[in-house]
Amino acid sequence: MKNIFFPKLCCLLFAACAFFACDVPNKELDGDGNDNGNTDSSGEVEMVTFTKNQPDEDALFGIVVDSQNAISGSGNGFWQFAAIEGNGNLKDVKDIPESLEDYEWQVEAVEGAIYVGMMKIDDGRFNFGYDYIAIQVMKVTETTATIKYIYPFYTEPLNASDLINFDTDIIGNEPGDELVINLNRIVPYRLSIAEHPDWSMLIEFGQKTIKFTNHHIYMFEQEARYLEVLFTSGSFDYLFTIKQQPDPYLFFDWSEGSSGKAGSHATFIYSNAAWTATCEESWCTLLTTSGSGDGEIRYELAANADGRFREATIWLTVEGIADPQPLAVSQRAWFKSGQGSEADPYIISNISELYAVTDAGSDYFLMVNDIDVSPFIYEESGGWTPIYLGSGHFDGGNHTLSGIWWNRPDNGQAGSFNVAENAVISNLHIKLDSRGIISGDFTGGFVGFTRTRVTITNCSLTGNIKGGTDTGGIVGGAPYQFINLYDCTVNGNIQGLHMVGGIAGTACGDIKGCYFDGTVKATEGAAGGILGFASGYPGLSHNTDMNECASKGQIEGSTIAGGLIGYTYTPFSLHIFNSYSHCSLKVTGNSDECYVGGLIGQKTGKYWWVANSYFAGSISAGTACIKGGIMCNGSPLNLTNSYFDKEASGVDEAIPGWSNGALTTAQMKNQSSYSEWDFSEIWVMNGSDYPTLRRVNERLRQ
């Protein structure tokens, strides 16, 4: 027996007749090409007699009646088959199959019984459609059974109340929620659903019910959504709307602890319902106590002056949600004393108050004791998190901040502080943890990078730093704006790629009274005892002035090394006054593009002046490298009262081609060799040693 429901042409004809109420006089239904003459007065029924156990392959439903008076059939259009009682109620409903393919059904051939099945219609014009069709057992003999096909299943006019019964038109928001629409009677019908990209509905059909099951995710929308459904049966059309009312919800942007500073704060709330808020903590005052839908909840926090991190909970009661929803509000510590003004700065006495600097921003701060931060830095964090000073003034009170370290080789622009325009850091001494600093480009012990005017005075750093390009002991890079570095000292090992300096990797500004003692190494470029690169750019009318600075230790660059400055480009002027270097200089490359100079490695730019300065260290470089006791290029007319130790350095010329200023070690240690130098205020001779700077000596004694 073929698995057929009925021939396709017949299917389409049925659909058209059912949904557009056309007349079907003498309708031929069994597919044999003959009318059989068995129609009722409407012309829409047909009786067919089957020989038992002999399938009529062209018959509607592919029906077979066996010797046990069981009517059976198969086809891919049936979802259900059931008997219908005289009152229109169903009985003996078969289970809905998992698949429409090869669905077999079987009912008892009882004379007078009516059986109803459902078929799927697809005429290419609707999304989908389903029709009921009925058969009635008219007569059963030992060898035959006569079946009456009934279509449509009603003749009288219909209205909505005759057919559809809604308990509700709302389907729930959660996946799996159902909406069941009851049919008051068995009728052929079709559903046409408007396409909607936001809906994911599964529609299942019973014989007297239509069930919509929500397979959509939770909807976070303030308004309900609607789906239009057109119910068509015969000439009757009924348009109804399914509404999806979202469950009440509330969630909010998560933010970390609020500033310890007193003030107003806000958290944005997403909701589709009305809500009220309460908070029991006295230091958290609600400015917004109720709302509806999306919006902000605002609250006022009192200053946290107890020196400890604290938390409060704002409870949000949402209409339609049983349990109150918690909004955690945390507050970092605030300063116990001070108002943040120049006359009354915020007092920093512990780690909590140190962290509070970030919250306060551009105010005045005074540290009143040493602070060890190492117990508060966790391995998984990668190390110290910079304090944001903004444009503030941080006075370390000549105290020490110890235990700082970080290991973030892929992150640049890193320092112990982040600063903005006109920031000032003074009287602070940083002692790094033994792990030191490992970072990327623009790495500095105090400030990693700044493009604004910043002043750092009377500060020191002890420890090791490894960075990328623009790495320095105090400042990584300050290339674009004037910077003031006064009386800063670094003792340690500074390593980077290019433009690496003991005090600053790159700087343009005023450098006075600074001292470096340690090693500086640039693996891919220039290294300098004080500055790796003395910068300057066209359009920036800034001089770089270095005065009363000194360096000691080892300076190594792959291409350039200088006792005070590795490399310089200044479209305006570079001045070096009253400064010296006792460094051992080394360049690992060996070409005519390698430079080693006692005070300046390589100079570009035409405005420069070196006066009352000297170099007393060694120079090591390949034979092809360009070497100078003071610098490697430039006019000797810009070199005034400056000298180098030709015995210690191993070179004979201050500038290649110019031998003036070359002294023996003995001469270098004799005060009379230094014409026009100020030994009463600036310089001092220490017995039979090289001259040193009073300003630096005083700094080192502190």
Handedness of CA 101, 106, 112, 114 (dihedral sign): negative
H-helix or E-strand spanning residue 426: strand 423-438
- Greatest distance between any 2 Cα atoms in the chain: 144
The rounded distance, in Å, linking the Cα atoms of 101 and 564 is 89
Whole-number pLDDT of residue 28:
37
Q: What is the mean pLDDT of residues 361-365?
A: 89
Of residues 375 and 175, the one with the higher pLDDT is 375
Cis (ω within 30 of 0) for the bond into 409? Answer: no
Whole-number pLDDT of residue 23:
28
The rounded distance, in Å, linking the Cα atoms of 465 and 145 is 100
The rounded distance, in Å, linking the Cα atoms of 615 and 678 is 17
Q: What is the mean pLDDT of residues 301-328?
A: 85
Count of C-beta atoms within a 10 Å radius of residue 57: 12
Judged against a pLDDT cut of 90, whether residue 82 lies above it is answered with no
Q: What is the CA radius of gyration of the chain?
A: 46
For 652-688, the pLDDT digits (tens) are: 999 998 888 999 999 999 999 998 999 999 999 988 8
Comparing C-alpha atoms, which of 529, 536, 473, 486 is closest to residue 507? Answer: 536
Judged against a pLDDT cut of 60, whether residue 101 lies above it is answered with no
Q: What is the mean pLDDT of residues 375-402?
A: 92
Of residues 538 and 533, the one with the higher pLDDT is 533
H-helix or E-strand spanning residue 597: strand 595-597
Q: What is the mean pLDDT of residues 29-39?
A: 38
The rounded distance, in Å, linking the Cα atoms of 675 and 669 is 13
Of residues 640 and 71, the one with the higher pLDDT is 640
Whole-number pLDDT of residue 89:
47
Judged against a pLDDT cut of 90, whether residue 395 lies above it is answered with yes
Count of C-beta atoms within a 10 Å radius of residue 421: 13
What's the pLDDT band for 14 if we cut at 50, 70, 90? very low
Q: What is the mean pLDDT of residues 325-346?
A: 89
What's the pLDDT band for 165 if we cut at 50, 70, 90? confident
Judged against a pLDDT cut of 90, whether residue 437 lies above it is answered with yes
CB 275 within 8 A of CB 316: yes
Mean pLDDT rounded to a whole number for the chain: 78
CB 532 within 8 A of CB 505: yes
Tell me how far CA of residue 37 lies from CA of 11, 112, 283, 547, in angstroms.
20, 20, 93, 122
What's the pLDDT band for 137 if we cut at 50, 70, 90? confident
Tell me how far CA of residue 22 lies from CA of 15, 16, 90, 123, 148, in angstroms.
10, 7, 28, 16, 20
Of residues 172 and 583, the one with the higher pLDDT is 583
- What is the SS3 assignment for 434? strand
Tell me how far CA of residue 622 lies from CA of 558, 589, 636, 653, in angstroms.
11, 7, 24, 16
For 564-580, the pLDDT digits (tens) are: 999 987 656 788 999 99
Q: Sort strands 683-685 and 691-693 into parallel, antiparallel or unpaired.
A: antiparallel
Judged against a pLDDT cut of 70, whether residue 363 lies above it is answered with yes
Of residues 359 and 373, the one with the higher pLDDT is 373
Looking at residue 25, its amino acid is: P
CA 107 to chain centre: 63
What's the pLDDT band for 131 if we cut at 50, 70, 90? low
Count of C-beta atoms within a 10 Å radius of residue 139: 14
Of residues 257 and 352, the one with the higher pLDDT is 352
- What is the SS3 assignment for 631? coil
The model's pTM: 0.64
Of residues 183 and 693, the one with the higher pLDDT is 693
Judged against a pLDDT cut of 80, whether residue 377 lies above it is answered with yes
Judged against a pLDDT cut of 60, whether residue 156 lies above it is answered with no
Judged against a pLDDT cut of 80, whether residue 415 lies above it is answered with yes
Is the domain spanning 250-331 CATH 2.60.40.10? The answer is yes
What's the pLDDT band for 87 if we cut at 50, 70, 90? very low
Whole-number pLDDT of residue 520:
97
Q: Sort strands 550-557 and 580-587 into parallel, antiparallel or unpaired.
A: parallel
Contacts 24+ apart (CB under 8 A), 647-652: 648/616, 648/617, 648/618, 649/598, 649/615, 649/616, 649/617, 649/618, 649/619, 650/618, 650/619, 650/620, 651/619, 651/627
CB 272 within 8 A of CB 345: no
Whole-number pLDDT of residue 179:
81
Q: What is the mean pLDDT of residues 153-171?
A: 64
Whole-number pLDDT of residue 15:
26
Tell me how far CA of residue 478 lies from CA of 178, 410, 542, 565, in angstroms.
66, 20, 12, 15
Judged against a pLDDT cut of 70, whether residue 125 lies above it is answered with no
Whole-number pLDDT of residue 571:
59
Q: Do domains 250-331 and 441-701 have the same CATH topology?
A: no
Judged against a pLDDT cut of 60, whether residue 93 lies above it is answered with no
Q: What is the mean pLDDT of residues 210-222?
A: 61
Domain definitions of the chain by residue range: 8-150, 160-244, 250-331, 441-701
Whole-number pLDDT of residue 118:
56
Of residues 678 and 200, the one with the higher pLDDT is 678
Whole-number pLDDT of residue 682:
97
What's the pLDDT band for 374 if we cut at 50, 70, 90? very high
Is the domain spanning 441-701 CATH 3.40.50? The answer is no
* Selection from 170-174, 271-275, 298-302 with the highest mean pLDDT: 298-302
Interacting residues of 115 by C-beta distance below 8 A, sequence separation 6+: 71, 81, 82, 83, 84, 107, 134, 135, 136, 137
Concatenating the DSSP letter of every residue in 33-55 gives: S--TT---TTS-EEEEEEETT--
Of residues 262 and 33, the one with the higher pLDDT is 262
Which of the residue ranges 159-163, 195-199, 270-274, 275-279 would you say has the lowest mean pLDDT? Answer: 195-199
What's the pLDDT band for 34 if we cut at 50, 70, 90? very low
Q: Which fold has domain 160-244?
A: Immunoglobulin-like (2.60.40)
CB 638 within 8 A of CB 609: yes
What's the pLDDT band for 99 if we cut at 50, 70, 90? very low
Q: What is the mean pLDDT of residues 283-304?
A: 89
Whole-number pLDDT of residue 359:
83
Of residues 468 and 55, the one with the higher pLDDT is 468
Whole-number pLDDT of residue 258:
65
For 487-520, the pLDDT digits (tens) are: 999 999 999 999 999 999 999 889 999 999 999 9
Whole-number pLDDT of residue 460:
97
Comparing C-alpha atoms, which of 616, 562, 621 is closest to residue 586? Answer: 621
Count of C-beta atoms within a 10 Å radius of residue 319: 13
Record the tokens describing residue 239, joined without a space.
Answer: 């348009």
Q: What is the mean pLDDT of residues 274-282?
A: 92
Q: What is the mean pLDDT of residues 16-41?
A: 33
